[in-house]
Chains A and B, each alone.
Chain A
Amino acid sequence: MTDLQWETLSNQGVAAAGVVYFLALLAYAVQWAALRDVPVRQAVAAGGGAPVLEVEDEQKADRVAMTGRLGVLLTAIGALAHFVALVGRGMAADPNRVPWGNMYEFTLTGTFVVVALFLATTNRWRLSWLGPIVVGFVLCVLLADVLWLYEPVAPLTEALESYWLVIHVVAACIATGAFTLGGITSILYLLKARSSKETGYLARLPELASLDRIAYRMHAFGFPVWTFGVLISGPIWAHQAWSSYWNWDPKEVWAFITWVVYAAYLHARATAGWRGRNAAILALVGVATLWFNFIGINFFSTTSQHSYAEGAGQERSVVLRVAAAPVEAAQEVRVVVGPDHAWA
């Protein structure tokens, strides 16, 4: 296949994934619609793990089970197309490379990890109730990704050609996926804590303690991976490419902030008065800093060396910097390296 064909395949993969995720969302919608007015059985709480989707009416139970399975199946098919899209991005470049060269590709990978982690844990941890939210979230992010972040396939810049790219970015993306799922669960925890309804989605979620535990496990998985990604592999690579392992670059600062907030979350779960609600709020602060760092910071800071989100024309401002600097300050020369050195 030619590079162009790979690129087309990748774009078709994203489109197909979007369509299939949407169908999965519909299947989940039908599933939950069937459960809408059915009160939750009270007996459920005793056992610990709540059979979220239990219904007395047999016909309804069949429909719920069938649409639920269909939803998961469609999610899996969507994930497959999503994966093809990722591989296509890498194969379309010349020379072939890992598909982590710009924000479009990072977002594509991050959302894929969210879906993959969901699929990996849904049976074991009985997360079927998370399905509609995950698919809805991923669908929205993919849409935004394609609309606003799309970039044509291009070879990696020099600084990105390092196997640390693979290690660093894989870790960061996996942690992002886990934190995102943890964040979603924490939102549901807070919503359920406020709700006193006996029917509907929130009423059918697992009990609060169980939501708290699922959120904790997502975070407990994500936190060491994040630690490895931003505090071990990131600095090692930074040391190789930029000559110092920690530069307080805006992206690093926010990765550090995210790390500190999640560290606080883990402590909060062990502190009286912070457990439960406050811990969940901290988890949300964490996920907000995470996604702000993932996408937002690129639009706020122009000095970041993680500048893969910059358009051309960014270099222009540097002219002024050199020319406008007073004589003594210009002693420290800023060598303009712009996009071709635009290390991520």
Chain B
Amino acid sequence: MTQLDRRPADDRQATPLPNDLNARELARWSWRQLTSMRTALVLLLLLALAAIPGSVIPQEDIDSLAVTQWRENHPNLAPIWDRLDLFSVYGSVWFSAIYILLMISLVGCILPRLFVYARALRAKPPKAPRNLSRLPEHASYETDEDPDDVLARAARTLRKRRYRVVRLDGGDSVDAERGHLREAGNLVFHLAVIVVLVGVAVGSLFGYKGGVIMFVGKDYGFSNNLTQYDDFAPGSLFDPTVMEPFSFSIDSFDVNWITDRENPRFGMARKFVSHLDYTTEPGAKTQEYDLKVNHPLSVGGTEVFLIGHGYAPVITIRDGDGNIAQSGPQVFLPTNAQTFESFGVVKAADAKPTQIGLEGTFYPTFSLGKDADGNLSMPASAFGNAIDPLVSLFAYTGDVGLDDGTSSSVYVLDKTKAKQVMKADGQPFRMDLRPGETVKLPDGLGTVTFDGLQRWNKIQISRTPGKLVALTGVVVALLGLLGSLFVRPRRLWVRARRRDDGTTLVEVARLDRSSGGDPETGRDELDAIVAALRQDREAAP
């Protein structure tokens, strides 16, 4: 079929390297190779291929803890992976190389086509080929009308069908063309892809994303500057002075728990709402906002998201001298998202005579679960809501990792230089505390009190400049795409010639220039045009 054999005009060809080239010719040849459609195709496939490793290997900027764990499990492979940038595929040199080459290829392909298109816009529809009946879609009929009348009507009919129509003086044909929007759409699409890339690049260079765990309550506040974040991932050109000076505190936090036991999601937390009090800048009026999942708070160009929540038992450690060595809510991280069984540590660096560290589990609704033998002996949380909270802790003494000045996580107890506190019988000393209860540590080390329960919210804050540029780009790209896929460029010619016997032969031919054109639609249009030409004749007196 013609559709498959015809070489489209937009197909730039890659060619083998000729032998005798000077530098300029070589550059020209290389540029032509890079901007050929075949190279673009190969680069597209390479891009798809190169994206795969990032979906299988843990990525540093997505889940750095998974990366750390992977490194520990594969000590031999990790250095190789590191050298290949496999832990940060999407920022790696080779991934960037592919998409930058692709963009160059795209620009190199699109720019010349822009000029071609500009010329085509001004150009008149091409003159009718000599032999219209050689075109795949053609029709003809005889009439006794004057050729000029036929051609005038043809021009009218085609204009009505939104063709651009030209009738040369003294010519025997009407030349018409429509569907320029296809190439326009194509160009718009490719240019918009570049806009999207620029928008994304701006966001990742100048933006930032950070997280903070905040206790619920007016006593705890957050103001937007670097020191207040628990984790912070800035873009490489990020400038801290652009950070909006807002601040907020969480007035209260509501959760609904599904308590219906028939429900397959029994125990699931739903409809969490953080009631925020915030000010957009110091001294501004305090406003309220109900922060929910899917409903971020926007302050200027920055957005505040609620992405998680959990419990913080308030624990007080008194040392051997009876002084308070540590007191306050401690963030425990849920290890089970359904029951909110959580893990956490408490460190008392100032305790005398020795530092004290606690590590253990918090159960919002304490119950005993079945162990491997089916006995009810495993402590567990039955429900995420704090109905019968209990915290179960082991104690450590010695250096709990606060002395040497290196940064240490508040969520992990470094036990390398610490000693576990034992009971007289040699078993580890474990304390199970309900709110209000106090336990005495052995050997006069001190006491531990579970004062009560506090809640925390994990708040994510991000500023992504350029996101509207990217969004606009992708929307425009889609519109361009629609044009390039569904507008069908076509040419149409009508020729009327008086023959020797006095009748007029009218020939109509149509040329579909898209690659997915439907022959039937083409025939239908041709038939409709021929019918219009003849019907007018019959209708006229």
Q: Which residues of A contact B (CB under 8 A)?
A: 48-49, 94, 151-155, 157-159, 161-162, 164, 207-210, 212-213, 216-217, 220, 223-224, 227-228, 231-232, 235-237, 239-250, 253-254, 256-257, 260-261, 263-264, 266-276, 289, 297, 300-301, 303, 312, 315-316, 318-342
List the one stretch of B275-283, B371-379, B479-487 in contact with chain A: B479-487
What are the interface flags for B193-234 relative to A under an 8 Å C-beta threshold, 1 for contact and 0 otherwise?
Answer: 000000010000000010101000000000000000011000
- Is residue B496 within 8 Å, beta carbon to beta carbon, of the partner chain? no
Encode contact with A along B43-85: 1 for CB under 8 Å, 0 otherwise.
0110110011011101101111110110010000000000000
Q: A212-B4, A257-B52 are in contact. Are A325 and B65 (CB under 8 A)?
A: yes
Cβ < 8 Å to A, chain B residues 13-66: 13, 37-38, 40-41, 44-45, 47-48, 51-52, 54-56, 58-59, 61-66
Mask: chain B, 299-333; 1 = CB below 8 Å from A; 0 = not: 00001010110100000000000000000000001
- Closest chain-A Cβ to B418's Cβ sits at a distance in Å of 13
Q: Is the CB of B478 within 8 A of A232?
A: yes
Interface contact A331-B44, CB-CB below 8 Å: no
Knowing A159-B294, A260-B44, A271-B37, the reply to whether A232 touches B308 (Cβ < 8 A) is no
What are the 10 A-B residue pairs with the smallest beta carbon separation, nearest first?
A338-B337, A209-B1, A330-B409, A335-B308, A250-B55, A319-B335, A253-B55, A264-B44, A243-B305, A332-B231
Q: Which residue of the partner chain, among A153, A164, A207, A274, contacts B41 with CB atoms under 8 Å?
A: A274
Contacts of B307 in A (CB 8 A): 242-243, 335, 337, 341
Whole-angstrom distance between the Cβ of A181 and the nearest chain B Cβ: 15
Q: Are B51 and A257 in contact (CB under 8 A)?
A: yes
Q: Contact: A213 with B481, CB < 8 Å?
A: no
In this complex, what residue of B is CB-closest to A49? B520
Residue of B whose beta carbon sits closest to that of A329: B68
Task: Give B211's nearest chain A residue, CB to CB.
Answer: A333
Q: Which of chain B's residues has its CB closest to A286's CB?
A: B48
> What are 16 A-B contacts defined by CB distance under 8 Å?
A153-B264, A158-B294, A208-B4, A209-B1, A213-B3, A223-B481, A231-B474, A243-B305, A248-B90, A261-B45, A272-B11, A303-B58, A303-B63, A334-B333, A338-B337, A338-B338
Contact status A249-B62, CB under 8 Å:
yes
Q: Given A271-B41, A341-B307, decide whether A243 and B337 contact each other with a Cβ distance below 8 A.
A: no
B305-A303 in contact (CB<8A): no
Encoded as 1 (CB less than 8 Å from any A CB) or 0, chain B from 154 to 169 comes to 0000000000000000
Check B69–A325 contact: CB distance below 8 A.
Answer: yes
Name the CB-closest residue of B to A302.
B66
Q: What distance in Å separates the Cβ of B349 from its nearest Cβ neighbour in chain A?
A: 15
Question: Chain A: which residue is nearest B359 at the CB level?
Answer: A323
**Main SS of the interface on chain B?**
mixed
Closest to B337 in A: A338
- Closest Cβ of chain B to A209, distance in Å, is 3
B536 at the interface (CB under 8 A from A): no
B3 contacts A337, C-beta separation under 8 Å? no
Q: Chain B, 442-474, contact with A by CB distance < 8 Å: what is the 0/1 string?
A: 000000000000000010111010010011001
Q: Do residues A248 and B59 form an inter-chain contact, with CB atoms below 8 A? A: yes
| Cross-chain contact A303 with B66 (CB below 8 angstroms) | yes
A268 — which chain B residues lie within 8 A by C-beta?
A: 41
Q: Is A339's CB under 8 angstroms from B295's CB?
A: no
Q: Is the CB of A260 within 8 A of B337?
A: no
Q: How far is the CA of A94 from the CA of B268 in the complex (A)?
A: 14
- Residue in contact with B51 in the complex, picked from A253, A338, A341, CB distance below 8 Å: A253
Q: Are the CB atoms of B485 and A319 closer together than 8 Å?
A: no
Given contacts A154-B264, A162-B294, A243-B462, contact A324 B72 (CB under 8 A): yes
Contact across chains for A300 and B44 when beta carbons are under 8 A apart: no
B471 & A232 in contact (Cβ 8 Å cutoff): yes
A248 and B62: CB pair below 8 A? Answer: yes
Cβ contacts under 8 Å, A261 to chain B: 44-45, 48
Determine if B499 is an interface residue (Cβ-Cβ < 8 Å).
no
- Choice from A240, A274, A312 contacting B296 with Cβ under 8 Å: A240
Known: A158-B269, A334-B65; 9 extra A-B contacts, CB below 8 A, are: A237-B294, A243-B296, A264-B44, A319-B343, A321-B65, A323-B412, A325-B69, A327-B414, A332-B211
Q: Which residue of B lies closest to A337 (CB)?
A: B308
Residues of the B chain whose Cβ atoms lie less than 8 Å from the Cβ of A339: 268, 337-338
With the chains together, A326 CA to B53 CA distance in Å?
Answer: 25
Task: For the complex, give the distance between the alpha carbons of A145 and B518 in Å.
Answer: 36
B516 near A: Cβ within 8 Å?
yes
Whether A333 touches B294, Cβ cut-off 8 Å, given contacts A213-B518, A325-B69, is no
A83 to B389, CA, bound (A): 46
- Chain B min CB distance to A212 (Å): 7
Report the nearest B residue to A125, measured CB to CB.
B518
Give Cα A274 to B462, complex, Å. Answer: 44
Could you tell me the distance in whole angstroms from the C-beta of B301 to the nearest C-beta in chain A? Answer: 13
Does B411 belong to the interface (CB within 8 Å)?
yes
Q: In the complex the two chains form, is A320's CB within 8 Å of B258's CB?
A: no
The residue among A94, A272, A289 with the most chain B CB atoms within 10 A of its own CB is A272
B462 touches A244 (CB 8 A): yes
Known contacts A257-B52, A321-B65, A331-B231; is A155 also within 8 Å of B258 by CB?
yes
Q: Mark B470-506, 1 if CB is under 8 A from A, else 0.
A: 1100110110011001100000000000000000000
CB distance from A314 to the nearest CB of B (A): 9
The answer, yes or no, to whether B265 is at the interface (CB within 8 Å) is yes
Return the contact of B294 from the options A240, A300, A315 (Cβ within 8 A): A240
Q: How far is the CB of A298 from chain B (nearest CB, A)?
A: 12
Contacts of A48 in B (CB 8 A): 519-520
Q: How far is the CB of A276 from chain B (nearest CB, A)?
A: 6
Contact B401 A264, beta carbon cutoff 8 Å: no
Quote the shortest CB–CB distance from A128 to chain B (angstroms).
Answer: 16
The reply on B407 being an interface residue by CB < 8 A is yes
For B373-412 the 0/1 string (1 means CB < 8 A from A) is: 0000000000010000000000000000100001111011
Contact of B474 among A208, A232, A332 (CB under 8 A): A232
Residue in B closest to A163 when the chains form the complex, CB atoms: B294
B478 touches A269 (CB 8 A): no
Interface pair B303/A243, CB less than 8 Å apart: yes
Q: Is the CB of A260 within 8 A of B296?
A: no
Q: Evaluate contact between A158 and B271: CB separation under 8 angstroms.
A: yes
Pair B407/A228 contact, Cβ less than 8 Å: no
